[in-house]
Amino acid sequence: MTGTDEKVHLTREHCLDLLRQMVRIRRFEEKCAELYSGQKIRGFLHLYIGEEAVAAGTMQALKPDDAVVATYREHGHALARGLAMGPVMAEMYGKVNGASRGRGGSMHIFDRGKRFLGGNAIVGGGLPLAVGLALADKMQGRDRVTACFFGEGAVAEGEFHESLNLAALWKLPVLFLCENNLYAMGTALDRSESQTDIHLKAASYNLPSRQVDGMDVVAVEGAAREAAASVRRGAGPFFLEFRTYRFRAHSMFDAQLYREKEEVEQWKENDPIPRFADWAQQADLLHPADKEAIEASVQAELAEAVAFAEAGAWEPVEDLQKFVTMDEVPA
């Protein structure tokens, strides 16, 4: 139930969808970790486990012709945006049937049809792009929003400040979505920022800015809907800071020397999936059998996605330089 409504309507159907989206991401990521160990996936692999509520909730506020700019931890964004799981998994494998023909891998999922403009692996590098996408929409009078995800690590980059300023100055339709998981790789927020209250930094650029519990999918969706509606009204960009946490290591090479196990365990008690499922069950919106049904359907989807990736071909080496320069602008 994506769209422009400013309020969350917690029907049973919608609750099922929210839970399904989060479970899809969780199980996908777990499968990726397994496939990484089995050397099917190589390179850097950044898992989104623990942060699912942010992608699942925010995407509810977007329309199909809105654009999404994401980070290198973007599998969840891609799935929640509606990319089929098969091409996303095939991209992990580097196969030609992957979302980006296997060219980008885990960090660079693109999908023109879904207006998903990439995982960007330069921290902060996606923000100027989002500003430009929104500028084009504004100049052409199109009613579209560009949603731009980035982590709190990006806040230390100049591109964050330049982009917020430019978007606010020109009143561009950008939804800035900061996923504050408290660690920029291994650097804790209070070891890298003089002001750890990130939404206050954003507010200094004269745009509406709010902090949201990123472990509560309903709160995320509510905030995203309100923010997107404000952007659609032409009020300019809106900034949301989601307080969240990644349960897994930064990447597959991270021994997590920088945080205490107790801290991780404490956050896991706030796991967005059981938190929402239990709440919805208590509110009689979901039934005990729903969870199993969702798990079963996600397992089937996942098995199909892995089979799709396994069956995919490798791009012929002869095509190595294809698309370095383009012969035409894709229609």
Partner 1 sequence: MNGDGTAAPRLRLTYRDAVREAIRDALTRDERVFLMGEDVGRYGGCYAVSKGLLAEFGEDRIRDTPLSESAFVGAGIGAALNGMRPIVEVMTVNFSLLALDQIVNNAATIPHMSGGQFAVPLVIRMATGSGRQLAAQHSHSLEGWYAHIPGLKILAPATLEDARGMLWTAIEDPNPVLIFENVQLYDMEGELPADAGPVDITRAAIRREGKHASVVTFGGSVPKAVAAAETLAGEGVDVEVVDLRSLRPLDDATIMASVAKTHRVLVVDEGWRSGGLSAEVSARINEQVFYELDAPVARLAGVEVPIPYPKHLEDASVPQADTIAAALREMVGRR
- Binding residues for partner 1, rule: CB under 8 A, are 67, 98-104, 108, 110-112, 117-118, 120, 122, 125, 127-137, 139-140, 146, 158-159, 162-163, 165-166, 169, 321-330
Q: What's the DSSP call for residue 323? A: T
The residue among 7 and 112 lying less far from partner 1, judged by its C-beta, is 112
The residue among 50 and 118 lying less far from partner 1, judged by its C-beta, is 118
CA distances from 312 to 71, 95, 105, 300 (A): 25, 6, 14, 18
Q: Supply the minimum distance, in Å, between the C-beta of residue 204 and partner 1.
A: 15
The residue among 12 and 138 lying less far from partner 1, judged by its C-beta, is 138
Number of Cβ within a 10 Å radius of residue 172? 24
Q: Supply the minimum distance, in Å, between the C-beta of residue 142 and partner 1.
A: 9
User: Which residue's structure tokens are 């049937």?
Assistant: 97
Q: Supply the minimum distance, in Å, between the C-beta of residue 101 and partner 1.
A: 3
The residue among 39 and 321 lying less far from partner 1, judged by its C-beta, is 321
The residue among 165 and 251 lying less far from partner 1, judged by its C-beta, is 165
Longest dimension (CA), the chain: 58
The residue among 110 and 267 lying less far from partner 1, judged by its C-beta, is 110
The residue among 30 and 157 lying less far from partner 1, judged by its C-beta, is 157
The token pair at 92 is: 């992990």
Q: Supply the minimum distance, in Å, between the C-beta of residue 287 and partner 1.
A: 41
Q: Supply the minimum distance, in Å, between the C-beta of residue 133 and partner 1.
A: 4
Q: Which is nearest to 206 in space by CA: 238, 230, 160?
A: 238
What is d(CA 163, CA 248) in angstroms, rounded to the nearest whole number? 30
What is d(CA 219, CA 230) in angstroms, rounded to the nearest whole number? 17
Q: Supply the minimum distance, in Å, between the C-beta of residue 151 and partner 1.
A: 17
Q: Supply the minimum distance, in Å, between the C-beta of residue 238 and partner 1.
A: 18
Terminal C-alpha separation, the chain: 28
Q: Supply the minimum distance, in Å, between the C-beta of residue 53 and partner 1.
A: 27
Number of Cβ within a 10 Å radius of residue 197? 13
Number of Cβ within a 10 Å radius of residue 163? 27
Q: Supply the minimum distance, in Å, between the C-beta of residue 171 and partner 1.
A: 12
The residue among 56 and 168 lying less far from partner 1, judged by its C-beta, is 168
Return the H-helix or E-strand segment holding 239. strand 238-243
Three-state SS letters, 243-291:
ECCCCCCCCCCCCCCCCCHHHHHHHHCCCHHHHHHHHHHHCCCCCHHHH
The residue among 71 and 244 lying less far from partner 1, judged by its C-beta, is 71
User: 120 — phi, psi (to 5°)?
Assistant: -115, 130
What is d(CA 204, CA 195) in angstroms, rounded to the nearest whole number? 12
